Structure 1
Amino acid sequence: MGILNSSISGKFRTEYKGCTIAVGVSGDKHSRYALKWALENLVTSTNDVVVKLIHVTQTSPSPSPKDSPGNSRLINDGHAFDPIEEMLLPFRCYCTRKRVPFEVVILKDHDVAKALIDYISRYGIENIILGVSSKIGFSKRLFKTSDISSSVQKLAADFCNVYIINKGKIWAVRAARRQLPALPALPEEFSKM
């Protein structure tokens, strides 16, 4: 399960005056379009929102020696190099430049869509913004496949608005059907962190 294997930077749960906004990020330009759209359209200077940058690292269904934590860092000139941190750097810089507080969430799961859906349900994310490739329409019709953004759009909790962004414009929206329910308190082990 993606949530149990997740590693979350920052606080585990914070109360915000505004709603929670999450942006699914990966190394492609479509994630950058999604973050830019979210900051321009959902975040204003009057609401207290922390944007959650969510990245899902795919793992194999069965653990293998190459998936061990020590093998994810390469040595470059004597310094540890983490490719995930390198990939997230432009997103962090953009949020910092726009003066928007953010948290980085790194989930590990073999199914990216399932990890995102589980995170939305568990942490009460009210808005998730995902980027989509411009080629997805053709390949989806041709091969009858389901991509991550359409899976999240179909299966996300009904209290979450799902925005799918293509080239900086809304490609698809699924509006929430009900308000966010009261979430139970986190286990004591998380509240001490």
Structure 2
Amino acid sequence: MTDDRPMILIVEDDRTTRGFLADNLSADGFEPIGVESVAEALSTLDERYPDIVLLDLGLPDRDGLELVREIRGADGVASRLDPALPLLVLSGRANELTRVRAIERGADDILPKPFGYAELRARIHALLRRSEQRTRCGRMRVGPLEVDPAARSVRLNGRPISLSQKEFALLRTLCTDPTRVHSKDELLRNIWGYRQLGCNRKGPP
């Protein structure tokens, strides 16, 4: 049996708020994951692929806006971070300046604390509706090969294939436009990050 519940990452250092959100979201059919710092959020995003992030700004290790910046700045190819991941900021300092900065950094929405859970749930559903088409369009199929960038999964004839991070990035690049011929220099630059071919004359590892 598969779990098709939307996964929500809650990045909130207040245990009471985090527990309140997790309990209510779980009761409403979501799969909540709670963490309390930017470091824990990045570690979770490296292993799991949530459908949306609820993000507090006043976190103990770094400002929540730094997480927004890292996610939006990801390349979406070699990085495990999805630059299009929906981000909903929850903050007790949601004055006009903070709201502007959050939106400028790439947040999709911001809700000031204290907030009503019913409004939060409505905003979550709105973001999920907007991202649904993006998720569908992200899946690529080339013959018997299926690549799902959002889930970082690959299937061949319906069977899962295990790939390293670089292998997945290479396959995704090739599947994006399967009829195009990519030069070695281009692949080295886009996948391995080399500025010029001379940086690695023996080719990628």
Please, what TM-score do these two structures have when normalized by structure 1?
0.37
Structure with greater helix percent: 2
| Greater RCO (CA < 8 Å, at least 6 residues apart) | 1
Structure with greater strand percent: 1
> Which of 1 and 2 has greater Rg?
2
